[in-house]
Chains A and B, each alone.
Chain A
Amino acid sequence: MDILKQISQFVVEGEPGELEELMRRALDQGSTARELLDGGLLDGMNQVGELFREGEMFVPEVLMSARTMDLGMEIIKPLLGEGDVKVAGKIVVATVKGDLHDIGKKLVCMMLEGAGYEIHDLGVDVSPEDVCRAVEEIRPDLVGMSAMLTTTMTAMKETTEALRAAGLYDSVKVMVGGAPINAGFAEEIGANYSPDATGAVELANALMAS
């Protein structure tokens, strides 16, 4: 098998141990870091995305693949030129004020990371002010908010309003999710909605493209 295809396969199978050796061999044989990235690692993650959507791969397997991809990235990052490594996007993520639930947010972050996004996770119980501060410092493309309670949903509204008041709203796109959230609520507060982690990745990609 062509060496790039082998690398891609190891990402799909979530085999970090074997990957390093293979990548070094490929580099020795003359492959460029760019080729390893596009034809090997990213190709693998694209297949993973497809397989997960089709119900052929499961979350823990996807996360193993993402870890494998991370490891591969460590190896070639020093070799790539400045302009070569483009993150898919930068996103600031938080569970909103008053809410301490974060398993859904954690899963979304891991999936987004696997899809090439740079994640800045502010944690839980994050005030609108702290979100604004982070947006000012980090200058992300996207802001993601999570809530599990109907009472903390209002904090999402307060956060988008705070972003507007600080003149930051127009520089980002806002994504929201969580058990009580729906598309109608998201629209009301000027945000975008996805019902699950895969949807969040697709939404992030769509928002980045628009």
Chain B
Amino acid sequence: MKRNFPIDIEFRILDQEKIEKIHRASLRILEEVGIKVTGERMRGALAEHGAVMEAGDIVKIPSALVEKALATVPEVIRLYNRDGEQVGELGPERNIYFGSIAEQLEYLDYKTNTARRFTRDEMKIMCTLQDYLPNIAFTTSVGILGGVPAQLAGQIGFIEVVRNFTKNIHVVTSDVEALKDIVKIAADLAGGPEALAEKPLFVYYAEPIPPLLHPYESNERIAVCAEHGIPFTYMPYSMMGGTGPITQAGILAQNNAEVLAGLVMSQVIRQGAPYIYGSMPTVFDMKTTIGSYGAPEFHLNIAAAAEMAEFYGIPFYGSAAISDAKTIDPQSAAELEMTLFSAMLSKAGLVHDVGLLDHCRNISPMAIYLANEIIEQLKYYVRGVDVSDETLLLDVIGEVGPGGHYLEHVSTLKNFKKYWYPKVFERNMVNPEKSDLLEKAVEAIDRILATHVPAPLAPEKEAILARHEAELLSRVF
């Protein structure tokens, strides 16, 4: 599969020496400080493979075990949609896919630019818009859908997304039981557990609890996904000076140790289990106490962590088009642009949370819409400059000569469309006194929602979903 769009820019945060220092520091953390692991299955598996078990649920992981895991983890992960059609591939070719989420605590109304509680109705809007936008490659069922019993939110959310979304699906759940149910549903949709393992219908992500806590609730998910061949992302979310060391090197080392620990856990359950390196090492704002979503250091840390993933030959899961601002305003616009630029330049393969504002409280369709435009814009930057005999146009320069012009030259005619022509941003010669960009964007989103219909699910698959939904609801009613 060829790369999804060209990237020809040298962007590097960590040189080889820094990468190796962080790597060695992580190994020391795993060997000398250890992690806390609860749950008999994972503890047993780790012990069996040579991890050192100490009092207080501390587990120390020898470097040899890390090296072994790095040798068996796959470098390439294929991405599929609900019908088992391949829609992407993660690996050394550096394809990059941006995605969003299907639900959040709050919804930023795209007409009024004000936030309100997220209800089940908004989920359809999320799926339709994201299914339509060309630069959005996946959505995530986050497992917090309101209006359904909490213990079913993950499963019902997944079912809703499968019904309304034709691209790659990601899943997060609040507990491991919901994941187990979702695996069953996906296996039925795929045509059995073997079919699911061959073409997994979703990507999953979970987190440890920094610093260095990997409880049953986290590690059981690693195990379930490893067993069923579901690509598993382990994404520590930590804050410098709070749940991680105050320095960037320190938090990158701690973060790297957490991810390597998760990798070991996935490989001791099943060698060759698909695993993705995730990272969210951010700033703990010491004035307001938020974990910042827009901080420059957050995105620098993410991109640096992506270089660690590249070093190991594992795909990376990043974040972009996110903001600490609550509404569409100059701050969120700036943070959307900055974070997307950082992600585009980085070694990330999957980039999530597009459109997430108010430091993770609301999801904004307008932000997703604008992000789609910004991603397009940035593609034209990161493709770099092609310098060759063909592109230098020396003969044309000679032809046109001093004082001439290139407007009518055949080379201009043939190539001018290779530059970016914005669909949303404006370049009027005479601009209106008051910007109408947002007004036009609202109309565009209205049109998308009114006319785009994600291809319906095949009737036999809808029947499978309906059956599962009925069974789930029967547990509570």
Residues of A within 8 A of B (CB): 55, 58-60, 98, 100-101, 103-104, 107, 149-154, 179-180, 196-197
Verify A151–B174 contact, CB threshold 8 A.
yes
For residue B215, CB closer than 8 A to chain A, the reply is: yes
Q: Chain B: which residue is nearest A108 at the CB level?
A: B289
Other A-B contacts than A55-B287, A150-B174, 5 sampled, CB-CB below 8 A, are A58-B287, A59-B287, A107-B289, A150-B150, A196-B289
Chain A residues near B151: list those with CB within 8 A.
151
* Among A103, A180, A196, A197, residue most surrounded by chain B Cβ atoms (within 10 Å): A103
Option from A98, A100, A104, A180 in Cβ contact (under 8 Å) with B213: A100
Bound: A201/B396 CA distance, A: 73
**Is A180 a contact of B360 with CB atoms below 8 Å?**
no
Query: In the complex the two chains form, is A101's CB within 8 Å of B289's CB?
Result: no
Minimum CB–CB distance from B369 to chain A (whole Å) comes to: 26
Contact at B243–A103, with CB atoms within 8 Å? yes
B174 with A58: CB separation less than 8 A: no
Cross-chain contact A103 with B144 (CB below 8 angstroms): no
20 A-B contacts (beta carbon < 8 Å) = A58-B287, A59-B284, A59-B287, A98-B175, A100-B209, A100-B213, A100-B215, A100-B217, A101-B209, A103-B239, A104-B289, A107-B289, A149-B174, A150-B143, A150-B153, A151-B153, A151-B174, A153-B150, A196-B289, A197-B289
1/0 per residue, CB under 8 A from A, across B235-254: the answer is 00001011100000000000
Which of chain A's residues has its CB closest to B213's CB? A100
Tell yes or no: B19 within 8 A of A by CB: no
B333 at the interface (CB under 8 A from A): no
Which chain B residues (252-296) contact chain A, with CB distance < 8 Å?
Answer: 284, 286-289
- CB-nearest residue of chain B relative to A150? B144
Residue of B nearest to A63 (CB): B286
Instruction: Tell me the dominant secondary structure on chain B's binding face.
Output: loop
Instruction: List, in ascending order, chain B residues with CB within 8 A of A59's CB.
Output: 284, 286-287, 289
Instruction: State the main secondary structure of chain A at its contact with B.
Output: helix
Identify the closest chain B residue to A60 (Cβ).
B286
Query: Which residues on the B side are within 8 Å of A104 (C-beta)?
Result: 289
Q: Number of contacts between A and B (CB, 8 Å)?
A: 42
Expressed in whole angstroms, the minimum distance between the Cβ of A160 and any Cβ of chain B is 16
Which chain B residues lie closer than 8 Å to A107 at the CB level?
242, 289
Q: In the complex the two chains form, what is the Cα distance from A44 to B239 in whole Å?
A: 29
Considering the chains assembled together, what is the distance between the CA atoms of A98 and B150 in angstroms? 13
Top 5 nearest A-B pairs by Cβ distance?
Answer: A151-B174, A58-B286, A59-B286, A150-B144, A149-B174
CB-based nearest A residue for B287: A55
B105 interface residue per 8 A CB criterion = yes
CB distance from A96 to the nearest CB of B (A): 13
User: Which residues from chain B contact A103 at a C-beta distance below 8 Å?
Assistant: 239, 242-243
List chain A residues, Cβ under 8 A from B209: 100-101
**Residue of A101, A151, A153, A196 contacting most chain B CB atoms (<10 Å):** A151
CA of A149 to CA of B217 in the docked complex: distance in angstroms? Answer: 13
Complex Cα spacing A98 to B175, Å: 9
Q: Are A151 and B289 in contact (CB under 8 A)?
A: no
Taken residue by residue from 198 to 217, chain B's Cβ proximity to chain A (1 for < 8 Å, 0 otherwise) reads as 00000000000100010101
Task: Check B144–A180 contact: CB distance below 8 A.
Answer: yes
Q: Contacting A151 at CB < 8 Å: which of B150, B213, B241?
A: B150
B residues 212-235 near A (Cβ < 8 Å) are: 213, 215, 217
Which residues from A are CB-within-8-Å of B288? 196
- Return chain A residues, CB-CB under 8 Å to B213: 100
Q: In the assembled complex, which residues on chain A have CB atoms less than 8 Å from the CB atom of B174?
A: 149-152
Q: Which residues of chain A come closer than 8 Å to B105, judged between CB atoms?
A: 150, 180
A154 and B146 CA atoms in complex are apart in Å by: 13
- Chain B residues closer than 8 Å to A196, beta-carbon distance: 288-289
CB closest chain-B residue, reference A104: B289
Instruction: Give Cα A103 to B290, complex, Å.
Output: 11
Instruction: Collect the chain B residues with CB atoms within 8 Å of residue A154's CB.
Output: 150
Name the CB-closest residue of A to B215. A100
Question: What's the minimum C-beta distance from B219 to chain A, rounded to whole angstroms?
Answer: 12
Q: Mark B386-418, 1 if CB is under 8 A from A, else 0.
A: 000000000000000000000000000000000
Closest chain B CB from A166 CB (angstroms): 24
Q: Which residues of A contact B243 (CB under 8 A)?
A: 103
- Closest CB of chain A to B196's CB: distance in Å? 25
**Chain B residues closer than 8 Å to A150, beta-carbon distance:** 105, 143-144, 150, 153, 174
Measured in the bound complex, the distance between the Cα atoms of B287 and A59 in whole Å is: 6
The residue on B at minimum CB distance from A197 is B289
Shortest distance in angstroms between A88's beta carbon and chain B's nearest beta carbon? 21
Contacts of A180 in B (CB 8 A): 105, 144
Q: How far is the CA of A179 from the CA of B287 in the complex (A)?
A: 17
What residue of chain A has the Cβ atom nearest to residue B146's Cβ? A150
Per-position binary interface string of chain B over residues 415-443, scored 1 when its CB falls under 8 Å from any chain A CB and 0 otherwise = 00000000000000000000000000000
Among residues of A, the one whose C-beta sits closest to the C-beta of B360 is A179
A153 to B174, CA, bound (A): 11
Distance between Cα atoms of A185 and B242 in the complex (Å): 27
* Min C-beta distance of A117 to chain B, whole Å: 18
Closest to B151 in A: A151
Inter-chain CA distance A58–B284, complex, in Å, is: 11
